[in-house]
Chain A
Amino acid sequence: MKRDATIAAVLFALVALLPLAGEAYWMRLGTIVLMYGVLAMSWNFIGGMAGYPSFAVAAFFGLGAYTGAVAQKFGLPMGLAWAGAGLVAMVFAVLLGIALLRLRGHYFAIASLVVAEVLRELVNAATELTGGGMGLNLPIPAMASVDAQARFFFYAMFGVAALTFAATLATTYSKLGFGLRCIQQNEAAADMLGVDTTFYKVSGFVLSGVFVGMAGAVYASWVYYIEPPDVFDVLFSVKAIVMVLLGGAGSVFGPLIGAALFLGLEELVWRNYLEVHTGVLGLMIVVLVLFLPKGLLSLSQRFGRWRPTG
């Protein structure tokens, strides 16, 4: 753990220096990479460590975004709004986790996917509070300059990413992380060995939601206008999963590496071809799943218990 922590400290220190490079483009990209880093690391708790194929990242992100936005609409300062969003995401994750984590495999995956859809519709309908389909405007933060603003949000997202990483590190090298790995290997056996599987799974699920919620709130403040389809977008969930698959599920640095790699590729290859953007994304996903050996092979072994019976 010490070694990982040292590497991380150096890495994060380097990233923190990024704004000195000056250009707004890099800061914007950096903010996005950090944001997806949070999403990927968060998914890793429930999907990589515990082995439950959650598609709920989009739900937590949207929930956090709207909670933060509505809080700010009512006058709460940004920092508090972000913390509040994290809290709300946490409570939601507990309730949702207790309900959904009894399901396995496909059923769990679908249910978690559907939650985002239902939330989106609910937010759409609550026009009074959320502006519904017309979107919600947030108070534009008063900053010295555009650059200062970009720096501010870079560091805000950096903070959330650092928190998430700290949680990843702490969990991996703890009884919780070990328990989640046991659950992933064989949940029934883990139960018989004394692991309180419900408690551990819900804990993993909560970890997968709280930081995503905060990131969503920061995102909302950053772009200061959100609409339900923007923030409850299933692609958030899918990209988070793909990034972790790319970098290596269950590992400490894997999600971050995957996020950076994926977004780097996206920037270089296809972000500029808007027409085929989703198509190329799809192609990349297909290639990854079918051909990328190491990351996926080890995943296959870990998830062994889900092979179809019979």
Chain B
Amino acid sequence: MLYLQILANGLVLGGLYACIASGFSLVWGVLNVINILHGSFIVLGGYLAYFAYVKAGVHPFLSILIAIPAFFAIGYALQRLMINRIIAAPVLLTLTLTFGLDLMLSNGMILAFTADFKKLVLEPPLGTIAFGEVVLPIDRLAAMVLALALTGMLYLILSRSRIGRAIVAVRMDREAAALMGVDVKRIYAATFGLGAVMAGASGPLLVMIFPISPLGGPAYLGKAFVICVLGGLGSVPGAMIGGLVLGVAESFGSLWFGPEHAITLSFSLLILMLLFRPHGLLGRKGYE
């Protein structure tokens, strides 16, 4: 059945989307900062994986492991040195700051990588696998599984580790957390770092599936927005649900309206959600 295939495609896509949105949602939910850089981090991770593969034969799955500490360091430093200075400032300033930083990063990437689209094609290609009538490319499936694994790891960190619990505490009540001895500045930096990791580590996955360009950040950012509004802020399960919903919606939308309208579709969904259910499908209240 065609619909089953479309659904499966959507779910696979959704898994990837959940991964890219979870870090964004975390930063927004905990720091109340919308990180415009998030999309560009994804693209950066993708480019690094691409060049690692093409120049040095490093498999993208391995690149993920490298991306994790690298992006954590970048995110931590960025937050600590710059974003933390205006952490309590109004929405306008934090948005404008990350916007400016993003302009710098994407310009830098254009200079370093040229504006050409790049896609990582594995040699030899992995082929496809069939589940009954549904056929899925193995590389996409593998990417989805890894994306879910990353998202799952984030969830475990937040729910089991000390630093994760501290992050959740700060999200719930910053002052109370500070009174209990949590170093809020460090937690903010660590959270931002984790957000950067989720973005940078999903880059290698995405570049295997979609061609990327230095100006591709906003597209991913837009999806992350929509997912956060769909699923609610600051929660990994919410990003999961939002990601799956968006993936399936885009998949069916492509079928019914054509792939070129995918962006309009997701943004229209976003506006509808914002008008009628700004706190997400799950109704979790986040920061405004």
Contact = CB atoms under 8 A, between A and B. Distances in A.
A78 interface: no
Contacts of A241: 92, 96
Interface of A is mostly: helix
Contact of B288 (A99, A106, A114): A106
Interface string B86-103: 101111110111011111
B72 interface: no
Contacts of B222: 114, 117
B107 interface: yes
A242 B92 CA distance: 10
A125 interface: yes
B175 A285 contact: no
Of the four ranges (under 10, 10 to 19, 20 to 34, 35 or more), the interface on chain A belongs to 35 or more
A281 B271 contact: no
Tell me which of A118, A285, A289 has the highest count of chain B C-beta atoms within 10 A of its own C-beta: A289
Contacts of A250: none
A44 to B, nearest CB: 13
Contacts of A309: 287
Contact of B263 (A103, A109, A121): A121
A218 interface: no
Interface string A260-300: 00000000000000011111011111101110000010011
Contact of B102 (A109, A110, A121, A282): A282
B278 interface: yes
Interface string B159-170: 000000000000
Contact of A279 (B104, B172, B174, B275): B104
B3 interface: no
Contact of A296 (B93, B107, B288): B93
B288 A286 contact: no
Contact of A282 (B89, B103, B172, B261): B103
B191 interface: no
A125 B259 CA distance: 13
A204 interface: no
Contacts of A99: 275
Contacts of B267: 114, 117-118, 121
B107 A310 contact: no
CB-CB nearest 3 A-B residue pairs: A282-B103, A285-B100, A279-B107
Interface of B: 28, 31-32, 34, 82, 85-86, 88-93, 95-97, 99-108, 111, 172-175, 222, 225, 229, 261, 263-264, 267-268, 270-271, 274-275, 278, 287-288
